[in-house]
Homo-oligomer: A and B are copies of this chain.
Amino acid sequence: MNFIEKLTAATRKNNSLVCVGLDPDPKLMPEGLGVYEFNKAIIDATADIACAYKPNFAFYEALGDEGIAALKATIKYVPSGIPVIGDAKRGDIGNTSKAYATALFEVFKLDGATISPYLGFDGIEPFLQYKDKGLFILCRTSNSGAVDFQSLKCKTPGGGTRCLYEIVAAKAGEWNKNGNIGLVVGATYPEELKIIREQHPSLPFLIPGVGAQGGEIETTVKYGTDKNGERAVVNSSRGIIYASRGKDFAPAARKAAMTLRDQLNAFRPKLDNI
């Protein structure tokens, strides 16, 4: 089963677009709990509500060897029917990206990963060779700094102009020979989300930025999903895993994930109609 099949199966089984971002920060976690124990409890509490999990490597790397061990154990712990997307934003020259792809897919055994586009095709190609893995290329990120470069108006060969993020999306579409490319598009930029979805009706989108970052639910679903109300992986990290910072963090996470799922589903077409 390749990435998109696995994602679609999880989306349908759990009737959910919610991706739970596993970004452990000991300063925000209940005191005395290890990262793996924390993640395990979150996964147990949300495995029937989530369409994917997304650990961000930064938070594990910041914790040193223990963090990396917790990351590996967490990836392994996620039930096999739910894809795990490693948010690592890697990207280097071809020779080196090959080593990063080995790390992500053979050492960490992820189902998918986020990839940075700045180095161009040869930096992305080694990841694409893993045909069963999902590669989400950064297109329009959810942060305030996204405008610094991604919004630049660039000249196209046809003589017009398009924003950098649109050109990245277009190239990603061209490079998608193995059908395993998706895009990262932030919920915080609904107009851009709309433009990119119109241009790429069937690519899976990883959509960060709802919840703590302020992205709106309605536009996220309306502009972010495909015609069936699918292929959108809507990530929430802090809004779910730190819904409570007390002993009830796991049921609180469950409740937050369920609320987000229901809010998103309210704007999706009914599954029966697909």
Interface residues of A (CB under 8 A from B): 23, 25, 56, 58-59, 61-65, 68-69, 87, 89-94, 96-97, 99-100, 102-103, 106-107, 116-124, 138, 141-150, 152-155, 161, 164, 167-168, 171, 208
Contacts and interface: CB of A to CB of B under 8 A. Distances in A.
Contacts of A208: 93
A121 to B, nearest CB: 4
Contacts of A93: 141-143, 145, 208
A56 B154 contact: no
Number of identical protomers: 2
Given A62-B102, A92-B89, A164 B145 contact: no
Contact of A61 (B62, B100, B142, B167): B100
B141 A119 contact: yes
A17 to B, nearest CB: 21
B107 A62 contact: yes
A93 B187 CA distance: 14
A97 B28 CA distance: 17
Contact of A118 (B59, B99, B138): B138
Contact of A120 (B100, B102, B146, B161): B146
B121 A90 contact: no
A81 B143 CA distance: 38
Given A58-B99, A61-B99, A118-B138, 18 more contacts: A58-B96, A61-B100, A62-B103, A91-B116, A93-B142, A94-B145, A116-B118, A117-B148, A118-B141, A118-B149, A120-B143, A120-B148, A121-B145, A122-B144, A123-B145, A149-B171, A152-B152, A152-B164
A92 B56 CA distance: 10
Contacts of A122: 143-145
Contacts of A97: 58
A57 to B, nearest CB: 8
Contacts of A155: 152-155, 161
Nearest to A68: B68
A161 to B, nearest CB: 7
A260 to B, nearest CB: 19
Nearest to A58: B99
B103 A120 contact: no
Contacts of A150: 118, 120
30 contacts: A58-B99, A58-B100, A61-B107, A62-B107, A64-B107, A65-B65, A65-B68, A91-B116, A93-B141, A93-B143, A93-B145, A94-B145, A117-B118, A117-B148, A117-B149, A118-B118, A118-B138, A118-B150, A119-B145, A120-B143, A120-B144, A120-B145, A121-B144, A121-B148, A123-B143, A149-B164, A149-B167, A152-B152, A152-B167, A153-B155
